[in-house]
Every structure is written in C-alpha cells, then in structure tokens.
C-alpha cells in the first residue's frame, strides 16, 4: 500500500493541475475583494432598517454584522455554492483519468500491486488535495478580510473554525468523488466526468433553501452551511451522512469492480 501511495504522490510532481486548481481557489476568493464591501454595506443597511431582504437572510444565519467571525463563514459557503463540486470533481477526474489519457493504465495494471491499493492511494491523493485546497481558500480569505478589517480583532480560532467548516462542506462532496473517478476510468478524457459533475452541481444548486438538500449528497453542503447568497445555520443529521456514505460505498464498489474486471484498467 505504501508503495502505491508514494507513487501516486510522486506522479504529481510538476503537474500543472495543482497550479490550475490553486488558481481557481485563489481567484474565486479574490472576488471577495470586490464583493466584500458591497455585502458589508447591504447587510448592515438592511439590518439597520429592519427590512426583509438579504440582511434578514444573513441574520437568520447568525450574520448580523461583518467581523472576522462572520467574514470567515463565507469560505465554506464558497465550497458549497461555487467551486466545491466542480473543482474536486476535476481533481478526481484527473487523478483517475490521467492513466488512461497518458496510456499508463496498462502498465499500472500489470504492476505487482493490488489494484485495490492503487484505488485507495488515488482516493488518499484526492483527500490530501481537498485538504490543501481548503487550507488555501482559508489563507486567501484571511488575506482578503485583513485588507478590509486589519488584524485588530483577528483570532486564530476564526481560522481554525473556518478551516473545519470548509472541510465539513467538502466531506459530502468527497464522498461522491469515486463516482466521478469511475466515469474517468471508463473512457479517455475528462469530458464525461465533468459533465457528470456539472449535472450534480446544477441539481445541488436547484435545491438551495429546500429541505431535500439534506438528503442529496451533492447538495448537503448547501443544507449544512448554505451558499453565499443564502447562508444557513443547518445541521446534517445521521440520515444525511448515511446516504452520503452509501454513495461512497457504491462509488468505490463500481471503481473496484471496473479495476478488477480488468477489461478496463486503472
């Protein structure tokens, strides 16, 4: 297993995909540079006037004023409403699909390493990549917020909580990634897995504000933390996590079956 894991990480050396995904996260966060003052103004104005509007929605989610604590809540909301599904799916499609694309699938399948270990290593790489992107999003957001608020009221606990909530938002998405990986294994190229991701992204966003979001793994981050234009303070119940876990198990099963059926290799 360690051989496969070490090799999977070594394959990423000089990979441009790491750069592209980092740029997307940083780019998305930098939008906050322009949006932050607008949100700050609209939100404080609405609350002050007591009018029903964006301010009420934010207030229901516990965001009644813009400070370090509330500003950092926008990071997990960015995951659920913006880059989470698409970017993590791209990572999964790349990690699983590159073998077929670069013609290394056959050589990998003839290695004296259990194919289950290769799959598990790929999922570990995706998990690590996910954690890295979450950390990067938090760091970038800290920089944006600091530009407007300075570090006077800053506390590391805000960073810790933001990181934890971002990981929390990513977890249900991560559990769906074996299915994306499976799409990437079945045919050369990233189009099919990314179309699948786009479909799930659209479904997830159509469920914003609906209770059903809690039971659709792709929409679970929306039910848990909301999206930037509709933050919520929700909690995902055991049933939600059971469904997400089931999707993960099914995804892993089809990936392993495909790998071990051999007619299509990893």
Residues within the interface to other proteins (CB under 8 A): 3-4, 6-7, 10-11, 13-16, 98-99, 102-115, 259-263, 265
Residue with tokens 């694309």: 101
Cβ proximity of 133 and 87 under 8 Å: yes
Rounded distance between C-alpha atoms, residue 95 and residue 219, angstroms: 23
- Specify the residue, 114 or 233, whose C-beta has the smaller distance to other proteins: 114
- Specify the residue, 13 or 211, whose C-beta has the smaller distance to other proteins: 13
- Specify the residue, 111 or 198, whose C-beta has the smaller distance to other proteins: 111
Distance in Å, CB of 129 to other proteins, minimum = 15
- Specify the residue, 17 or 24, whose C-beta has the smaller distance to other proteins: 17
Distance in Å, CB of 16 to other proteins, minimum = 7
Residue 199's CB: how many other CB atoms inside 10 A? 12
Cβ proximity of 214 and 236 under 8 Å: yes
Distance in Å, CB of 100 to other proteins, minimum = 9
Residue with tokens 């880059």: 83
Cβ proximity of 124 and 1 under 8 Å: no
- Specify the residue, 41 or 257, whose C-beta has the smaller distance to other proteins: 257
59 CB contacts (<8 Å, ≥6 apart)? 47
Distance in Å, CB of 82 to other proteins, minimum = 28
Distance in Å, CB of 106 to other proteins, minimum = 5
Residue 13's CB: how many other CB atoms inside 10 A? 7
Q: What are the phi and psi torsion angles at 14 (to 5°)?
A: 60, 15
Distance in Å, CB of 253 to other proteins, minimum = 15
- Specify the residue, 176 or 265, whose C-beta has the smaller distance to other proteins: 265
For 7, 10, 58, 109, 122, the CA distances from 4, given in Å and listed in that order, are: 5, 10, 46, 12, 9
């Amino acid at each position: 297993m360690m051989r496969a894991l070490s090799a999977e990480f070594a394959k990423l050396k000089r990979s441009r995909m790491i750069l592209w995904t980092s740029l997307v996260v940083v780019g998305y966060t930098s939008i906050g540079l322009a949006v932050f003052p607008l949100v700050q103004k609209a939100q404080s104005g609405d609350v002050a006037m007591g009018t029903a509007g964006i301010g009420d929605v934010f207030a229901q989610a516990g965001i009644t004023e813009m400070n370090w604590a509330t500003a950092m809540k926008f990071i997990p909301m960015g995951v659920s409403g913006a880059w989470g599904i698409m970017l993590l799916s791209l990572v999964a499609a790349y990690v699983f699909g590159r073998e077929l694309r670069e013609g290394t699938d056959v050589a990998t399948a003839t290695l004296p390493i259990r194919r289950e270990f290769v799959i598990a290593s790929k999922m570990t790489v995706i998990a690590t990549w996910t954690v890295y992107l979450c950390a990067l999003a938090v760091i970038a957001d800290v920089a944006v917020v600091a530009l407007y608020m300075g570090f006077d009221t800053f506390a590391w606990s805000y960073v810790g909580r933001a990181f934890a909530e971002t990981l929390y938002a990513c977890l249900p998405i991560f559990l769906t990634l074996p299915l994306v990986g499976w799409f990437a294994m079945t045919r050369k190229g990233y189009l099919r897995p990314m179309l699948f991701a786009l479909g799930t992204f659209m479904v997830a966003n159509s469920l914003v504000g609906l209770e059903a979001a809690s039971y659709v793994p792709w929409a679970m981050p929306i039910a848990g933390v909301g999206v930037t234009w509709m933050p919520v303070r929700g909690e995902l119940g055991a049933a939600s996590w059971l469904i997400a876990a089931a999707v993960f198990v099914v995804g892993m099963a089809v990936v392993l079956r495909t790998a071990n059926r051999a007619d299509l290799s990893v």
